[in-house]
Amino acid sequence: MKPLSFFLVFLLAATANSQTYNPAAHTDPVNLTPEVHDAFEHFYALDYEGALSRFEAVQLTHPQSAIAIGNVLLTIVFRELYRQDLLDTTYYAHDSFLTSRRNVPVPQSVRDRIESLTNSAVALTDQQINANPNDANAYFARGYARGLHAAFITLCDHSYVAAARQGLASRNDSEATLKIDPQYDDAKMAMGIQQFAVASLPRLVRMLVGIAGVGGNKEKGLDLLRESAAHGIVTPIESRTALSLFLRHDGRYAEAIVVQKGLADQYPHDYLFRLEVANLTKDSGNGPGAIALYRAILADAQNPTYFVEPRLHMAYFGLADTQRGQNQIADAAQNYLRAAAQPTCSDWIRRRAQLNAGEMFDLLHRRDEATKQYELASAGGGDQSQSDAAHRYLKTPYVGK
Say how far apart CA 192 and CA 129 lie, in whole Å: 24
Of residues 300 and 94, which shows the higher confidence score? 300
Inform me whether the pLDDT recorded for 238 exceeds 70: yes
Q: What is the pLDDT, as a whole number, of residue 95?
A: 47
The CA dihedral of 244, 249, 255, 256, to the nearest 10 degrees, is: 30
pLDDT band at 215 (very low <50, low <70, confident <90, very high): low
Q: What pLDDT digit, counting tens, does each position of 62-104 carry? A: 999 999 999 999 999 999 999 999 987 776 655 455 555 678 8
Q: What pLDDT digit, counting tens, does each position of 376-399 carry? A: 999 865 556 788 899 999 999 999
pLDDT band at 3 (very low <50, low <70, confident <90, very high): very low
State percent of the chain over pLDDT 70.
86
Inter-CA distances, 89 with 276, 277, 329, Å: 7, 11, 24
End-to-end CA distance of the chain: 72
Helices (H) and strands (E) in the chain, counts: 19, 0
Inform me whether the pLDDT recorded for 178 exceeds 80: yes
Say how far apart CA 68 and CA 71 lie, in whole Å: 5
Q: What is the pLDDT, as a whole number, of residue 15?
A: 39
Question: Where do the DSSP E strands lie in 133-218?
Answer: none
Q: What is the pLDDT, as a whole number, of residue 51?
A: 98
Inform me whether the pLDDT recorded for 287 exceeds 80: yes
Q: What is the pLDDT, as a whole number, of residue 194?
A: 82
Say how far apart CA 62 and CA 262 lie, in whole Å: 32
Say how far apart CA 136 and CA 142 lie, in whole Å: 10
Inform me whether the pLDDT recorded for 248 exceeds 90: yes
Q: What is the pLDDT, as a whole number, of residue 13?
A: 36
pLDDT band at 16 (very low <50, low <70, confident <90, very high): very low
Say how far apart CA 121 and CA 141 lie, in whole Å: 7
Inform me whether the pLDDT recorded for 31 exceeds 90: yes
Most trustworthy range by pLDDT among 6-10, 98-102, 161-165: 161-165
Q: What pLDDT digit, counting tens, does each position of 89-142 carry? A: 776 655 455 555 678 889 999 999 999 999 999 999 999 999 999 999 999 999
Inform me whether the pLDDT recorded for 39 exceeds 50: yes
Q: What is the pLDDT, as a whole number, of residue 282?
A: 96
Determine the 3-state secondary structure of 395 from DSSP: helix
Inform me whether the pLDDT recorded for 340 exceeds 80: yes
Q: What pLDDT digit, counting tens, does each position of 47-72 carry? A: 999 999 999 999 999 999 999 999 99
Of residues 199 and 33, which shows the higher confidence score? 33
Best CA proximity match to 317, nearest among 36, 88, 40, 106: 88
Inter-CA distances, 205 with 201, 212, 283, 367, Å: 6, 9, 27, 42
Best CA proximity match to 194, nearest among 178, 172, 162, 161: 172
Average pLDDT score over the chain? 88
pLDDT band at 14 (very low <50, low <70, confident <90, very high): very low
Q: What is the pLDDT, as a whole number, of residue 163?
A: 76
Inter-CA distances, 337 with 265, 292, 352, Å: 30, 19, 10
Q: What is the pLDDT, as a whole number, of residue 157?
A: 86
Using alpha carbons only, what angle is made at residue 300 by residues 244 and 249, rounded to the nearest 5 degrees?
A: 15
Say how far apart CA 274 and CA 30 lie, in whole Å: 30
